[in-house]
Protein backbone atom coordinates (compact mmCIF):
# COMPACT_ATOMS: atom_id res chain seq x y z
CA UNK A 1 0.00 0.00 0.00
CA UNK A 2 1.26 3.45 -0.90
CA UNK A 3 0.24 6.86 0.41
CA UNK A 4 1.55 9.14 -2.27
CA UNK A 5 5.11 7.93 -2.74
CA UNK A 6 5.33 6.44 0.76
CA UNK A 7 5.45 2.65 0.50
CA UNK A 8 4.02 1.06 3.65
CA UNK A 9 4.26 -2.50 2.39
CA UNK A 10 1.53 -5.11 2.09
CA UNK A 11 -1.33 -4.98 4.61
CA UNK A 12 0.19 -2.25 6.78
CA UNK A 13 -0.86 -1.73 10.40
CA UNK A 14 -0.81 1.90 11.53
CA UNK A 15 -0.90 3.55 14.96
CA UNK A 16 -3.89 5.87 15.24
CA UNK A 17 -3.46 9.42 16.52
CA UNK A 18 -4.65 9.66 20.13
CA UNK A 19 -4.55 12.73 22.33
CA UNK A 20 -2.37 12.32 25.44
CA UNK A 21 -1.26 8.90 24.21
CA UNK A 22 0.69 9.02 20.94
CA UNK A 23 3.58 11.19 22.03
CA UNK A 24 7.04 10.64 20.54
CA UNK A 25 8.14 8.03 23.09
CA UNK A 26 5.10 5.84 22.44
CA UNK A 27 5.30 6.36 18.69
CA UNK A 28 8.93 5.21 18.62
CA UNK A 29 8.09 2.13 20.68
CA UNK A 30 5.21 1.20 18.36
CA UNK A 31 7.39 1.63 15.29
CA UNK A 32 9.95 -0.71 16.90
CA UNK A 33 7.17 -3.22 17.51
CA UNK A 34 6.03 -3.21 13.87
CA UNK A 35 3.71 -0.25 13.23
CA UNK A 36 4.07 0.71 9.57
CA UNK A 37 3.36 4.38 10.25
CA UNK A 38 2.42 6.56 13.19
CA UNK A 39 0.63 9.85 13.80
CA UNK A 40 1.06 12.71 16.21
CA UNK A 41 -1.43 13.70 18.85
CA UNK A 42 -4.14 16.07 17.62
CA UNK A 43 -2.68 19.50 16.71
CA UNK A 44 -5.20 22.38 16.92
CA UNK A 45 -5.19 24.64 13.89
CA UNK A 46 -6.07 27.73 15.92
CA UNK A 47 -3.18 27.01 18.28
CA UNK A 48 -0.73 26.74 15.39
CA UNK A 49 -1.71 29.99 13.75
CA UNK A 50 -1.40 31.76 17.12
CA UNK A 51 2.10 30.30 17.46
CA UNK A 52 1.06 28.56 20.67
CA UNK A 53 4.13 26.79 22.01
CA UNK A 54 2.24 23.63 23.01
CA UNK A 55 0.71 23.20 19.55
CA UNK A 56 4.03 23.77 17.81
CA UNK A 57 5.79 21.33 20.14
CA UNK A 58 3.38 18.58 19.07
CA UNK A 59 4.77 18.85 15.55
CA UNK A 60 8.33 18.01 16.56
CA UNK A 61 9.16 14.49 15.45
CA UNK A 62 12.26 12.34 15.13
CA UNK A 63 13.72 10.50 12.12
CA UNK A 64 13.19 7.09 13.75
CA UNK A 65 9.43 7.70 13.78
CA UNK A 66 9.14 8.03 10.02
CA UNK A 67 6.89 7.61 8.21
CA UNK A 68 4.82 9.89 10.40
CA UNK A 69 1.76 12.04 9.83
CA UNK A 70 0.93 15.27 11.62
CA UNK A 71 -2.79 15.39 12.31
CA UNK A 72 -4.53 18.76 12.48
CA UNK A 73 -8.07 19.66 13.49
CA UNK A 74 -10.34 22.69 13.47
CA UNK A 75 -13.41 24.06 11.71
CA UNK A 76 -12.26 27.39 10.30
CA UNK A 77 -11.17 26.86 6.67
CA UNK A 78 -8.53 29.58 6.61
CA UNK A 79 -7.01 28.43 9.90
CA UNK A 80 -6.98 24.81 8.74
CA UNK A 81 -5.20 25.71 5.50
CA UNK A 82 -2.59 27.77 7.32
CA UNK A 83 -2.12 25.02 9.91
CA UNK A 84 -1.63 22.49 7.11
CA UNK A 85 1.05 24.70 5.57
CA UNK A 86 2.78 24.85 8.94
CA UNK A 87 2.59 21.07 9.34
CA UNK A 88 4.02 20.74 5.84
CA UNK A 89 7.04 22.76 7.04
CA UNK A 90 7.16 21.34 10.56
CA UNK A 91 10.86 20.54 10.28
CA UNK A 92 11.58 24.26 9.89
CA UNK A 93 9.02 25.46 12.44
CA UNK A 94 9.29 22.88 15.22
CA UNK A 95 12.58 21.21 14.40
CA UNK A 96 13.25 17.53 13.99
CA UNK A 97 12.14 15.33 11.13
CA UNK A 98 8.88 17.10 10.31
CA UNK A 99 6.21 14.97 8.69
CA UNK A 100 5.78 12.65 5.75
CA UNK A 101 2.07 13.37 5.34
CA UNK A 102 -0.58 15.77 6.63
CA UNK A 103 -3.67 14.15 8.13
CA UNK A 104 -7.00 15.91 8.70
CA UNK A 105 -8.96 14.96 11.79
CA UNK A 106 -12.64 14.70 10.86
CA UNK A 107 -13.17 11.82 13.26
CA UNK A 108 -12.57 12.76 16.91
CA UNK A 109 -15.91 12.50 18.77
CA UNK A 110 -15.04 14.10 22.12
CA UNK A 111 -17.27 17.03 23.06
CA UNK A 112 -14.51 19.62 23.43
CA UNK A 113 -13.62 19.05 19.76
CA UNK A 114 -16.76 17.80 18.00
CA UNK A 115 -18.97 20.11 20.02
CA UNK A 116 -17.15 23.07 18.47
CA UNK A 117 -17.73 21.76 14.96
CA UNK A 118 -14.27 20.25 14.55
CA UNK A 119 -13.28 16.58 14.36
CA UNK A 120 -16.36 14.45 13.73
CA UNK A 121 -18.45 17.58 14.28
CA UNK A 122 -17.67 18.29 10.63
CA UNK A 123 -19.87 15.33 9.68
CA UNK A 124 -22.82 17.71 10.00
CA UNK A 125 -21.24 19.98 7.38
CA UNK A 126 -20.00 17.70 4.61
CA UNK A 127 -19.77 20.49 2.05
CA UNK A 128 -17.50 22.44 4.35
CA UNK A 129 -15.49 19.31 5.09
CA UNK A 130 -14.90 18.71 1.40
CA UNK A 131 -13.99 22.36 0.78
CA UNK A 132 -11.45 22.41 3.63
CA UNK A 133 -9.90 19.20 2.32
CA UNK A 134 -9.68 20.51 -1.24
CA UNK A 135 -7.97 23.72 -0.12
CA UNK A 136 -5.47 21.83 2.04
CA UNK A 137 -4.56 19.46 -0.79
CA UNK A 138 -3.90 22.48 -3.00
CA UNK A 139 -1.84 24.25 -0.31
CA UNK A 140 0.71 21.61 0.73
CA UNK A 141 3.48 19.56 -0.86
CA UNK A 142 3.08 16.41 1.23
CA UNK A 143 0.39 13.77 0.70
CA UNK A 144 -2.86 14.63 2.49
CA UNK A 145 -4.99 11.99 4.21
CA UNK A 146 -8.30 12.16 6.07
CA UNK A 147 -9.58 10.27 9.10
CA UNK A 148 -13.34 10.32 9.63
CA UNK A 149 -16.38 8.32 10.78
CA UNK A 150 -19.50 6.80 9.23
CA UNK A 151 -21.62 9.88 9.87
CA UNK A 152 -23.01 12.01 12.65
CA UNK A 153 -25.66 9.52 13.82
CA UNK A 154 -27.54 6.41 12.70
CA UNK A 155 -29.77 8.52 10.44
CA UNK A 156 -26.87 10.14 8.59
CA UNK A 157 -24.35 7.45 7.68
CA UNK A 158 -23.00 9.30 4.66
CA UNK A 159 -19.57 7.76 4.41
CA UNK A 160 -19.91 5.94 1.06
CA UNK A 161 -20.86 9.09 -0.83
CA UNK A 162 -18.60 11.30 1.28
CA UNK A 163 -15.60 9.06 0.58
CA UNK A 164 -16.02 9.67 -3.15
CA UNK A 165 -16.21 13.42 -2.63
CA UNK A 166 -13.13 13.45 -0.41
CA UNK A 167 -11.23 11.34 -2.92
CA UNK A 168 -12.12 13.83 -5.64
CA UNK A 169 -10.33 16.59 -3.71
CA UNK A 170 -7.05 14.78 -4.29
CA UNK A 171 -6.36 13.11 -0.95
CA UNK A 172 -3.94 10.19 -0.97
CA UNK A 173 -5.72 7.86 1.50
CA UNK A 174 -8.84 7.71 3.68
CA UNK A 175 -9.20 6.17 7.14
CA UNK A 176 -12.73 5.29 8.26
CA UNK A 177 -13.65 4.57 11.87
CA UNK A 178 -16.65 2.25 11.88
CA UNK A 179 -18.83 4.28 14.27
CA UNK A 180 -20.86 7.46 14.09
CA UNK A 181 -20.01 10.46 16.19
CA UNK A 182 -23.03 9.86 18.42
CA UNK A 183 -21.79 6.35 19.17
CA UNK A 184 -18.52 7.75 20.51
CA UNK A 185 -16.73 4.46 21.34
CA UNK A 186 -19.82 2.51 22.37
CA UNK A 187 -21.15 -0.61 20.69
CA UNK A 188 -19.32 -2.47 17.97
CA UNK A 189 -17.71 -0.82 14.98
CA UNK A 190 -19.66 -1.38 11.74
CA UNK A 191 -17.12 -2.77 9.33
CA UNK A 192 -19.74 -3.49 6.66
CA UNK A 193 -19.82 0.19 5.74
CA UNK A 194 -16.03 0.37 5.72
CA UNK A 195 -16.14 -2.59 3.34
CA UNK A 196 -18.75 -0.79 1.22
CA UNK A 197 -16.41 2.17 0.83
CA UNK A 198 -13.60 -0.12 -0.29
CA UNK A 199 -15.89 -2.08 -2.63
CA UNK A 200 -17.12 1.07 -4.38
CA UNK A 201 -15.72 0.76 -7.93
CA UNK A 202 -15.14 4.52 -8.06
CA UNK A 203 -12.67 4.41 -5.19
CA UNK A 204 -9.02 4.09 -6.12
CA UNK A 205 -7.15 5.54 -3.12
CA UNK A 206 -6.15 3.29 -0.19
CA UNK A 207 -8.90 2.70 2.37
CA UNK A 208 -7.75 2.15 5.95
CA UNK A 209 -10.17 0.59 8.43
CA UNK A 210 -10.31 1.53 12.10
CA UNK A 211 -12.37 0.34 15.04
CA UNK A 212 -12.20 -2.63 17.43
CA UNK A 213 -8.93 -4.00 16.06
CA UNK A 214 -7.89 -5.41 19.41
CA UNK A 215 -6.13 -8.64 18.46
CA UNK A 216 -4.39 -10.32 15.55
CA UNK A 217 -7.42 -12.40 14.51
CA UNK A 218 -9.58 -9.30 14.08
CA UNK A 219 -6.82 -7.67 12.09
CA UNK A 220 -6.71 -10.60 9.68
CA UNK A 221 -10.50 -10.57 9.38
CA UNK A 222 -10.46 -6.88 8.47
CA UNK A 223 -8.24 -7.62 5.50
CA UNK A 224 -9.79 -10.92 4.44
CA UNK A 225 -13.46 -10.09 4.91
CA UNK A 226 -13.64 -6.38 4.13
CA UNK A 227 -10.76 -5.97 1.69
CA UNK A 228 -9.25 -2.85 3.22
CA UNK A 229 -5.79 -1.78 2.16
CA UNK A 230 -4.59 -1.08 5.68
CA UNK A 231 -5.80 -1.05 9.26
CA UNK A 232 -5.34 1.39 12.12
CA UNK A 233 -5.02 0.37 15.76
CA UNK A 234 -6.07 2.83 18.45
CA UNK A 235 -7.16 2.03 22.02
CA UNK A 236 -5.93 -1.56 21.93
CA UNK A 237 -2.35 -0.30 21.66
CA UNK A 238 -2.62 1.65 24.89
CA UNK A 239 -0.12 0.08 27.27
CA UNK A 240 0.24 -2.75 24.76
CA UNK A 241 2.62 -1.71 21.97
CA UNK A 242 3.38 -5.35 21.18
CA UNK A 243 -0.01 -5.65 19.44
CA UNK A 244 1.74 -4.57 16.23
CA UNK A 245 4.21 -7.42 16.54
CA UNK A 246 1.32 -9.84 17.20
CA UNK A 247 -0.62 -8.66 14.15
CA UNK A 248 2.40 -8.81 11.87
CA UNK A 249 3.11 -12.38 12.95
CA UNK A 250 -0.46 -13.34 12.07
CA UNK A 251 -0.52 -11.52 8.73
CA UNK A 252 2.95 -12.51 7.57
CA UNK A 253 3.26 -16.07 8.90
CA UNK A 254 -0.18 -17.09 10.16
CA UNK A 255 1.38 -17.34 13.61
CA UNK A 256 -0.35 -16.63 16.91
CA UNK A 257 2.13 -15.30 19.43
CA UNK A 258 1.84 -15.89 23.14
CA UNK A 259 1.37 -12.76 25.24
CA UNK A 260 4.69 -11.30 26.37
CA UNK A 261 5.75 -12.39 29.81
CA UNK A 262 6.24 -10.09 32.77
CA UNK A 263 9.99 -9.84 32.24
CA UNK A 264 9.52 -8.73 28.64
CA UNK A 265 6.90 -6.20 29.73
CA UNK A 266 9.25 -4.81 32.34
CA UNK A 267 11.94 -4.39 29.67
CA UNK A 268 9.49 -2.60 27.38
CA UNK A 269 8.28 -0.37 30.20
CA UNK A 270 11.88 0.59 30.98
CA UNK A 271 12.53 1.32 27.31
CA UNK A 272 9.38 3.46 27.16
CA UNK A 273 10.26 5.30 30.37
CA UNK A 274 13.79 5.97 29.14
CA UNK A 275 12.50 7.47 25.91
CA UNK A 276 10.01 9.62 27.78
CA UNK A 277 12.69 10.93 30.15
CA UNK A 278 15.11 11.65 27.31
CA UNK A 279 12.50 13.55 25.31
CA UNK A 280 10.66 15.39 28.09
CA UNK A 281 12.88 15.50 31.13
CA UNK A 282 12.30 13.99 34.58
CA UNK A 283 9.12 15.88 35.51
CA UNK A 284 7.01 15.66 32.35
CA UNK A 285 8.66 12.42 31.38
CA UNK A 286 7.36 10.72 34.52
CA UNK A 287 3.99 12.48 34.58
CA UNK A 288 3.11 11.54 31.01
CA UNK A 289 4.24 7.93 31.47
CA UNK A 290 1.72 7.29 34.22
CA UNK A 291 -1.12 6.60 31.82
CA UNK A 292 0.95 3.83 30.26
CA UNK A 293 2.83 2.23 33.14
CA UNK A 294 0.10 0.35 34.97
CA UNK A 295 -1.38 -0.83 31.67
CA UNK A 296 1.70 -2.86 30.87
CA UNK A 297 0.84 -5.20 33.73
CA UNK A 298 -2.91 -5.60 33.39
CA UNK A 299 -4.00 -8.98 34.74
CA UNK A 300 -1.33 -9.44 37.39
CA UNK A 301 -2.74 -10.82 40.66
CA UNK A 302 -2.52 -8.75 43.84
CA UNK A 303 -1.14 -5.83 41.85
CA UNK A 304 -3.34 -2.96 43.04
CA UNK A 305 -0.92 -1.52 45.61
CA UNK A 306 2.02 -1.68 43.21
CA UNK A 307 -0.03 -0.10 40.44
CA UNK A 308 -0.90 2.82 42.70
CA UNK A 309 2.78 3.29 43.51
CA UNK A 310 3.67 3.20 39.81
CA UNK A 311 1.19 5.95 38.91
CA UNK A 312 1.98 8.23 41.84
CA UNK A 313 5.76 7.98 42.12
CA UNK A 314 7.66 11.07 40.93
CA UNK A 315 11.25 9.85 41.10
CA UNK A 316 12.40 8.10 37.88
CA UNK A 317 14.95 6.01 39.79
CA UNK A 318 12.27 4.78 42.16
CA UNK A 319 10.05 3.84 39.20
CA UNK A 320 12.90 1.74 37.82
CA UNK A 321 13.23 0.06 41.22
CA UNK A 322 9.49 -0.65 41.20
CA UNK A 323 9.82 -2.22 37.77
CA UNK A 324 12.66 -4.37 39.05
CA UNK A 325 10.45 -5.39 41.96
CA UNK A 326 7.67 -6.36 39.54
CA UNK A 327 10.15 -8.52 37.61
CA UNK A 328 11.33 -10.19 40.80
CA UNK A 329 7.90 -10.84 42.33
CA UNK A 330 5.80 -11.64 39.26
CA UNK A 331 8.49 -12.63 36.76
CA UNK A 332 7.20 -16.19 36.38
CA UNK A 333 3.49 -15.29 36.34
CA UNK A 334 1.68 -16.35 33.20
CA UNK A 335 -0.72 -13.85 31.63
CA UNK A 336 -3.41 -15.18 29.34
CA UNK A 337 -4.31 -13.61 26.00
CA UNK A 338 -7.77 -12.84 27.37
CA UNK A 339 -6.28 -10.77 30.17
CA UNK A 340 -4.30 -8.83 27.60
CA UNK A 341 -7.01 -8.06 25.03
CA UNK A 342 -6.92 -4.36 25.90
CA UNK A 343 -4.18 -2.42 27.54
CA UNK A 344 -6.80 -0.26 29.21
Beta bridge partners of 68: 38
CA dihedral 40, 42, 48, 54 (to 10 degrees): -80
Of all helices (H) and strands (E), which one includes residue 223?
Answer: helix 216-226
The count of C-alpha atoms lying within 13 angstroms of the C-alpha of 98, restricted to the half-sphere facing its C-beta, is: 15
61: DSSP letter: B
Judge contact between 39 and 15, C-beta under 8 A. yes
For 166-176, b where at least 16 C-beta lie within 10 A, e where not — what string? bbebebbbbbb
Q: What are phi and psi of 280, to 5 degrees?
A: -125, -10
* Residue 99 falls in the annotated catalytic set: no
Within 8 A by CB and 6+ apart from 327, the residues are 262, 263, 266
Beta bridge partners of 15: 233
Catalytic residue among 30, 108, 182, 295: 108
CA distance linking residue 226 with residue 210, whole number of Å? 12
Within 8 A by CB and 6+ apart from 106, the residues are 119, 120, 122, 123, 129, 146, 147, 148, 149
98 dihedral zone (left: phi>0; alpha: psi -120 to 50; beta): left
CA distance linking residue 73 with residue 18, whole number of Å? 12
Q: Catalytic amino acids?
A: 108
Amino acid sequence: MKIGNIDLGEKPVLLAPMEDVTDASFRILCREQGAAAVYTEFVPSDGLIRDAAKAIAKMKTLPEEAPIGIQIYGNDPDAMVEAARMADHADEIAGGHGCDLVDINFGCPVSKIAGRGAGSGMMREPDKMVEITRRIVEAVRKPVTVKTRLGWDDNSKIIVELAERLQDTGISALTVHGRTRCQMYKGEADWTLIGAVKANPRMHIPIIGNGDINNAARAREAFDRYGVDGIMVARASYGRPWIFRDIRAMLDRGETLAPPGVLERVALAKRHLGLSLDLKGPVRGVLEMRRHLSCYFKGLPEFKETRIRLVTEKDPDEIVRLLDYIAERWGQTQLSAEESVYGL
